[in-house]
Amino acid sequence: MESAEAERPLWRRIVDYPLVAMVIAAAMFFGAVAAALVLSRLLPPMDDNARLGAQAAINLVLVLAVYKLGIVRLGERPHDDLPAKGAAPRFALGLLAGAVLMSAIVGVAALLDIYNIVGSGGTSDLLRLLIAASILPGILEEIFFRGILFRWIEEWAGSWAALIVTAALFGIAHIFNPNATWFSSFAIAVEAGLLLGGAYMLTRSLWMPIGLHMAWNFFQGFIYDVPVSGLDEQGMVQAKLTGPELLSGGAFGLEASVIALVVATAAGVWLVMLALRKGELMKPTWARGPVKT
């Protein structure tokens, strides 16, 4: 194997090195996002819902094309984290997990008189919430944080480093959201970073994390009318969060509450434990043998 490694051109060994591959993949991802932004500005006049749908379609087509045609081919261990085989059951499992977890969090908040329905809502924001708060962040954020960052940090420094670093970065990314605090970012890092990272480790696929992410946001915003990471949305009911900020999450929403921190983190720990039992813990590159070619 060592001779095969030595036969590879120097430039290829450099490009395939995990951290270099990660930087190249990230540049390709953001290049696709930037290109989608430029193309979206060229759209002809249309109503808001049609524009939102067109912009989302452009984003997804470009990012998925770059991922499937370029990013999956990078690195010492090229592979596709969005395979067609097993996509439907893993995606469905993610959707179910996200719905159940958010329902459990809201249920506990209701039992503690933190969450209360105060009126009827509406469905006028359904399409916007489905696209802008669920589908786009579910796909784009998971491709970037798990499909790029987690993948190559894990390949270089191992699974534990990938979990910690991507969780921290995921939390920091949410510090720029409306009503965000350092505690809300800490909570997002621990509860969501561990949960989504554990789902990726367990399945070695992005389908479950994507489904989980989508359902978490959709049920939170549309079904229960809870702010989605600080963004106050109109749901199918009108709800109010009251009580101590540690339990309600304040203006940021239940994601910044101790309730979500406990429930989602427990689920994340369970997923990581299942991944460990399955033998999905990857050692750092310096603790492994040479890559098989």
Encode pLDDT of 243-252 as tens digits: 999 999 999 9
Which residues on adjacent β-strands are paired with residue 119?
238
In three-state form (DSSP H/G/I as H, E/B as E, the rest C), the secondary structure along 261-285 is HHHHHHHHHHHHHHHHHCCCCCCCH
- Indicate whether 95 and 210 sit together in one domain: yes
State whether 74 and 88 are in the same domain: no
DSSP 8-state secondary structure symbol assigned to residue 8: S
- Torsion angle in degrees (nearest 10) through CA of 195, 207, 63, 149: 40
DSSP alpha helices (H): ranges in 230-257?
A: 245-248
Q: Is the pLDDT of residue 58 over 90?
A: yes
Same domain, 8 and 125: no
Determine the distance from the C-alpha atom of residue 260 to the mean position of all C-alpha atoms in its chain, rounded to a whole number. 16
Q: Are residues 14 and 124 in the same domain?
A: no
CB 122 within 8 A of CB 47: no
Residues 229 and 149 in one domain: yes
Q: What is the rounded average pLDDT of the residues 121-131?
A: 89
Indicate the pLDDT class of residue 1, thresholds 50, 70 and 90: very low
The answer to whether 198 and 269 have CB atoms below 8 angstroms apart is yes
Q: Which of 57, 80, 103 is the last residue of a domain?
A: 80
What pLDDT was estimated at residue 11? Answer: 84
Out of 54, 80, 106, pick the residue that ends a domain.
Answer: 80
pLDDT at 292 over 80: no
The answer to whether position 293 is within a domain reads: no
Of 150, 127, 252, nearest to 209 (Cα)? 150
pLDDT given for residue 210 in this prediction = 98
User: 208, 90 in Cβ contact below 8 A?
Assistant: yes
Q: Are 200 and 119 found together in one domain?
A: yes
pLDDT given at position 8: 76
Q: How many CA atoms lie within 13 A of 199 on its CB side?
A: 31
Residues above pLDDT 70, as percent of the chain: 96
pLDDT range class, residue 293, cuts 50, 70, 90: very low
Please tell me the distance from the alpha carbon of residue 282 to that of residue 40, in angstroms, as a whole number. Answer: 40
Same domain, 67 and 88: no
Residue 141, in any domain of the structure: yes
Shared domain check, 150 and 94: yes
pTM metric for this prediction: 0.94
Average pLDDT for the chain? 93
Residue that terminates a domain, selected from 80, 102, 129: 80
Query: Tokens 């101790």 — which residue?
Result: 258
- Specify whether 172 is located in the same domain as 67: no
Q: How far is the C-alpha of 286 from the C-alpha of 264, rounded, in Å? A: 33
Domain total in the chain: 2
CA distance 164 to 277: 19
224 and 240 share one domain: yes
Q: Which whole number is the average pLDDT over 255-278?
A: 97
Expressed as residue numbers, the domain containing 179 is: 83-287
Q: Mean of the pLDDT values across residues 275-284?
A: 94
Q: Is the pLDDT of residue 202 over 80?
A: yes
> Is residue 70 included in any domain, yes or no?
yes
Confidence bin at 124 (pLDDT 50/70/90)? confident
